Structure 1
């Protein structure tokens, strides 16, 4: 489960309207029949029109400055293992979203009129998407890039030969291109993986737009608060503040596991990712202590993330060293995937 929370920002200022973001989320509905479209929903209603989402988010920004986020985007990306536990992707993910947002609101150390904030204080809209495309930051695209550069150079040379700008054999250049296409490390359905290519398999995920202000447009609820859950005295009154990020991520996993009866592997836990970032040695020790079937699955999951894990080590020390080197290459990815992006 990978969850990110980001404010929508353009340059130095934050987006003043949700229109562009909502329009982006509507892209999958293009050329679809009505019964196949995915519509926005919130805690209590389905089938919410896009223009209503824009209107409700845009009017809920009282006293917010241009330098403050008007809304946050929460992206929830279940792993293929988690998705395999679902019976109906759309309906199950919608059910999970509504439980997840209860975890989200409980992570605020805030009170409204003397009571803890609750789900009815949130103004949010969510949408399920089923497609993803490869980005330039994906490890498959990055590892394919040296081959892509050589192929592009060869194609440019062919064009220059055809135009008479340089001498050379076009057939030889085409043979070199064909050879490079076979050697490229990452392919999908026999084709080189490139930026913009749709990803194969089940890619269902959730996009949530949540207003910075509460439903009454009176109180600020910022998951990007620099304060952890704490209390401070202001004007002689004790004020609660902050957002408990660790609590939110941990409860998000527990809620999914409880809702769908999912047995989570250590590699796919928030606790495991945090341990990996802070102390790779402790992380490896934890992996080694797993029961054999779970440990085998853990290393399979690590490989799928893009880490290079040797399959035939000569001894445990060598295995540990090689794994550490592979894991360290993915620290930035892990950190990005396991923390709120602000």
Structure 2
């Protein structure tokens, strides 16, 4: 499970309105028949029109300053292992979203009129997407780039030869191009992976747009608060403040496991990510201490996520001999992968 919580972009890709972001989330529906479209939904409603989402989010901004985000984006990316556990992608992911937003509300260390915040205080809209494309920052695209650059250069030369602008053997150059296409390290369905190419397999994920203000448009609820969950004295009164991201991420994982009966391996757990960041030696010691069958699954998960398995110790003697810096190089890729961690 890989979850991100980001603020509305001001002065960047999106305007102060939510319209651009909502339009971006509608991209998969373009060209589809009504029955094949994925619509916005919230805790209790289905098939909410995009214009209604924009209207509700944009109107819920009372007393927010110009430079304060009006909404936040939560992106939920289940791993391929988690997606396999689902019986019906859209239906199950909607169910999970509604449970997840209960966890989101519970992670605020705030009160409204003396009561704990609940999901009914949160104004949000969500949408399921089933496609993803390769980005320029993806490992596959980056490592294919030297081949892409050379291919582009050769294609330019072929074009000039065929247009009579330069001398050369275009047939020989086309043969070189074909070889480079095949030699690129990352392929999908027999083709070189390039930026913008649609990713194969189940790519279902969730986008959530959540208002900065509560349902009554009177209380500001920021998951990007600089304050960790804490109680402080203000004007002689004890006041609750902050949002506990750590608790939210932990709950998100447990909620998925409980909802769908998913048996999570240590290598794909939020706990393992924290162990790796705080003390890599504990991470690898725990990995080696797993029962044989679980350790085999963990190594398989790491290998699929792009970790060079030769960088992982296979016994405690190797762990003692290898430096933590070397071990970190081998696993950093997976920690940033959608397959591992939050």
TM-score under structure 1 length normalisation? 0.92
SS at match of 2:177: helix
Q: Which residue of 2 aligns with 1:317?
A: 318
1:247-269 Cα offsets, whole Å, 9 max, x none, are: 00000000000000000111211
Residues 14 and 172 (structure 1 numbering): CA distance in 2 closer, same or farther, change over 3 Å? closer
Q: Counterpart of 1:219?
A: 219
Note the alpha carbon deviations across 1:91-129, whole angstroms, 9 max, x for none.
000000000000000000000111111111100000111
User: Are the counterparts in 2 of residues 128 and 207 from structure 1 also a CA contact under 8 Å?
Assistant: yes
**Aligned residues of 2:14 and 2:21 also touching (Cα < 8 A):** no
- Return 5+ residue gaps in structure 1 as ranges: none
Gaps of 5+ in 2: none
Match of 1:176 in 2: 176
Partner of 1:276: 276
The answer for the alignment partner of 2:7 in structure 1 is: 7
Structure 2 residue 99 is the aligned partner of structure 1 residue 125 = no
Find the aligned partners of 1:137 and 1:190 in 2 and give their Cα distance: 21
Q: Is the aligned partner of 1:26 residue 2:26?
A: yes
Bigger shift: residues 7-16 or 151-160: 7-16
Separation of aligned partners in 1, 2:97 and 2:38:
14
Alpha-carbon shift at residue 289 of structure 1 (Å): 1.0
SS of 1:208 mapped into structure 2: strand
TM superposition shift of 1:311:
9.1
CA apart distance, 1:62: 0.5
3-state SS of 1:307 partner: coil
**CA RMSD, Structure 1 to Structure 2 (Å):** 2.3
Q: Work out whether residues 122 and 214 of structure 2, in 8 Å CA contact, stay in contact via their aligned partners in 1.
A: yes
Q: Deviations over 1:206-256 (max 9, x none)?
A: 010100000000111000001111011112211100011110000000000
Alpha-carbon separation, structure 2, partners of 1:103 and 1:192 = 41
Q: 1:3: Cα distance to partner? A: 0.4
Contact 2:60 2:211 in 1 (8 A): yes
Question: C-alpha displacement at 1:148, in angstroms?
Answer: 1.1
Aligned runs of 1:23-62 on 2, under 5 Å? Answer: 23-62=23-62
Deviation, 1:181, is: 1.3
Aligned residue in 1 for 2:205: 205
How many residue pairs match? The answer is 337
Which deviates more, 191-200 or 161-170? Answer: 161-170
Output the CA distance in 1 between the equivalents of 2:332 and 2:311.
18
Rounded to whole Å, the distance in 2 between the matches of 1:330 and 1:166 is 47
1:104 aligns with 104
Specify the alignment match of 1:149 in structure 2: 149
Which range moves more in the overlay, 121-130 or 175-184? 175-184
Pairs within 5 Å for 1:260-299: 260-299=260-299
The superposition leaves residues 26-83 of structure 1 with CA deviations (integer Å, 9 ceiling, x where unpaired) of: 1111121221111111111111111111100000000111211100000001011101
